[in-house]
Amino acid sequence: MSAPTRILYCNCTYAQVVPKEVKEAVLKKLCESGVAFEAVADLCEMSARQDPGLKRLAESGSIKIAACFPRAIKWLFHSAKAPLPIPSTEVLNMRTQSAEEVISRLFEPEINPNVPAGKITLPTPSELPASAAAGQDQPAAVVVP
């Protein structure tokens, strides 16, 4: 039997780009629901610190994340070396969606994956094979899932 879908709520404490009313309403409904969820102060800050909690969350199976743009969330996790499972991740955008829309999706049992599946990006030096780092067989770009 698969693990239940986890819910992650980001308070976007430091960036303050999510409307306060939306954040407060979503958090209040989550608290009143009795549904298990995790809340973090700020995913951007966690990513910058490469917090191991992001890896734990990414590896926990299906997840719904109440935060901001799906593309931004994908790259925050990727930057922290904790890539999200694309087919089983749904990101609810509290910057553009109403609190009612976010809550409605959080409590729906099915996942509507909406994290972008790929992008061509240049690798960091630590991601290059040893031969490429020495200047041999260096790829022009790497496709990151």
Instruction: Quick: pLDDT tens for 23-63.
Output: 999 999 999 999 999 999 999 999 999 999 999 999 999 99
pTM across the whole model: 0.80
Partner residues linked to 7 by β-bridges: 64
- The position carrying tokens 């979503």 is 26
Could you tell me the pLDDT band of residue 117, with boundaries at 50, 70 and 90? confident
Token duo for residue 14 = 């430091």
Structure tokens at 116: 């972008």
Indicate whether 16 pLDDT > 90.
no
The token duo for 4 is 């239940």
The better pLDDT of the pair 107, 16 is held by 107
The mean predicted confidence, pLDDT, of the chain is 86
What's the mean pLDDT in 69-75? 95
Strand 89-93 to strand 63-67: parallel, antiparallel, or no bridges (unpaired)?
Answer: parallel
Residue 50 and residue 125 in contact, taking contact as beta carbons nearer than 8 Å: no
Give the model's pLDDT for residue 3.
72
Q: Which stretches does DSSP call E strand in 1-145?
A: 6-10, 38-40, 63-67, 89-93, 119-121, 142-144
Q: Provide the terminal-to-terminal Cα distance of the chain, rounded to the nearest Å.
A: 26
